[in-house]
Structure 1
């Protein structure tokens, strides 16, 4: 599934990051726990160099618990600071403790040089709709940034003060100009990081059926009370019949059933599903 999306405001966001990253001590990069490889933005390495980073596998409650552990082990072996989080209702204590740990040497260095202590400055980055604004709200303890379920809700730039010791520079979500692998665009579309308005929902839903059947056999049958036999399109037809997504003449309403499938995957109603594993990252075998 070939998807390319890099509107003008993303070029502005890239410039915003490039112009301001030197102001911060630490980068917090959010990844979608269901697709950690695809949501790891390659342009950040070019923009940020060796700036210290903390990675958050966000929306971890929607991803396969065992696969979450595999990803934690994978990044830990690469000596990267990483935690799991559900920013909507999860605790931020682990993140705050990790921030303290990572920035302690910086603070100690300032003391040695006789500098007046100042708040740790951080920049939060990620693809669209990965949960940055919701995380900021959790950290700040108030509705400090507009949030929503659509990519690109947060615009412009803003500093958010988090208590006396932390300041956070928020940026809009950003993608990159061209996806190297077709699965990157597919997975980002499935998790909601690309605007639905530019997508072929029916093709997206058809691919979703194939992926779920391959990685989590029985999940669709359990959710919709159908038999998972035959071709993917036959399974999709049965789901349409089970949900009453029918046009006149009892024809399947593919637009409606596509919306149902995508929405229920994103909300976790199909179960805890991970699209990627660290041993293959792209799950091409599922397509």
Structure 2
């Protein structure tokens, strides 16, 4: 394993544009719905969103709970909740996300709407900006909510081909935004975690570095799952362990030698295919909010 320090910077021009658009659109909404990956709830947080959102009410939706550990997800929900923030976990493909989003958005905006009613006003639909880093399930969630007939496009300020309004019901409207990553990873561990879960392309980081980090974590927390998946004896030396995995998976090349690169690639594919079961790659007791 290389000891070379990772220098991770990945901020394409369209992401800079997306940040400007998000700033302009925040004035149009009442609250923010931020999607994060339940497997990496801290790493999938975008610091730019904290900076832009300020004290607006926020609903944090932890997606992919079907791939994360149930008890750890509960602990994350408790850790991330505060007076301005409600946190829920969802399986976007199987839960009633329309109901979950609607109920929690109305709960967050309840006091404001009640004040409007007392003043004799008829509260308009709550406008929510939906944001999150790429590959966190935002498009899937929006599509689950939005039948084609509910898509709203038009000349509202800030609406571009990269954004759309989605009418959930008479009380809730969503403003979809492009997925945004931040200018650089100050903490290389965040980049590693996002690479493990596939939030950033494998070409961005050295795949071997990512695989070694994932193997180390599995050895620490789920050694029995490694043994069950590959029929290996857990040993300290990661390079030799990968060779044993490659041999047991018959990932061989000429001369009956283990194809090391193919083994690394196969290992990462196995992680993303949930071969090891539900795994939360960040633990609440290791994160200081």
Q: What's the TM-score once normalised by structure 2's chain length? A: 0.87
1:90 and 1:225, CA in 2 relative to 1: closer, same or farther beyond 3 A?
farther
- Give SS of 1:214's match: helix
Q: 2: CA distance between counterparts of 1:144 and 1:275?
A: 36
Q: 2: CA distance between counterparts of 1:48 and 1:169?
A: 14
1:233-255 CA-to-partner distances (Å, cap 9, x unmatched) read 12211221222222212222233
CA shift, 1:53, in A, is 0.3
1:60 and 1:9, CA in 2 relative to 1: closer, same or farther beyond 3 A?
same
Aligned to 2:250: 244
Where do 1:52-201 residues align within 5 Å? 52-76=57-81, 80-92=85-97, 93-141=99-147, 156-201=162-207
Are the equivalent residues in 2 in contact too, given 1:3–1:186 (CA < 8 A)?
Answer: no
User: Which residue of 14, 26, 49 maps to 1:21?
Assistant: 26
CA shift, 1:177, in A, is 1.0
Q: 2: CA distance between counterparts of 1:44 and 1:53?
A: 11
1:78 and 1:63, CA in 2 relative to 1: closer, same or farther beyond 3 A?
farther
CA shift, 1:76, in A, is 3.5
User: Which residue of 209, 214, 221 maps to 2:220?
Assistant: 214
- Give 5+ residue unaligned stretches, structure 1: 146-154, 283-287
**Structure 1 outlier segments of 4+, above 6 Å:** 142-145
RMSD: 2.2
Are the equivalent residues in 2 in contact too, given 1:137–1:143 (CA < 8 A)?
Answer: no
More displaced 10-residue stretch of structure 1: 255-264 or 216-225: 255-264
CA shift, 1:50, in A, is 0.9
CA shift, 1:270, in A, is 1.2
Are the equivalent residues in 2 in contact too, given 1:62–1:267 (CA < 8 A)?
Answer: no
Q: 1: CA distance between counterparts of 2:163 and 2:61?
A: 21
- Give SS of 2:78's match: helix
1:266 aligns with 2:272: yes
More displaced 10-residue stretch of structure 1: 134-143 or 55-64: 134-143
CA shift, 1:144, in A, is 8.5
User: Which residue of 251, 255, 260 maps to 1:254?
Assistant: 260
- Give SS of 1:169's match: strand
- Give SS of 2:127's match: strand
Q: What's the TM-score once normalised by structure 1's chain length? A: 0.87
CA shift, 1:278, in A, is 1.6
- Give SS of 1:179's match: coil
CA shift, 1:62, in A, is 0.8
How many residues are matched?
273
- Could you say which structure has the larger radius of gyration? 2
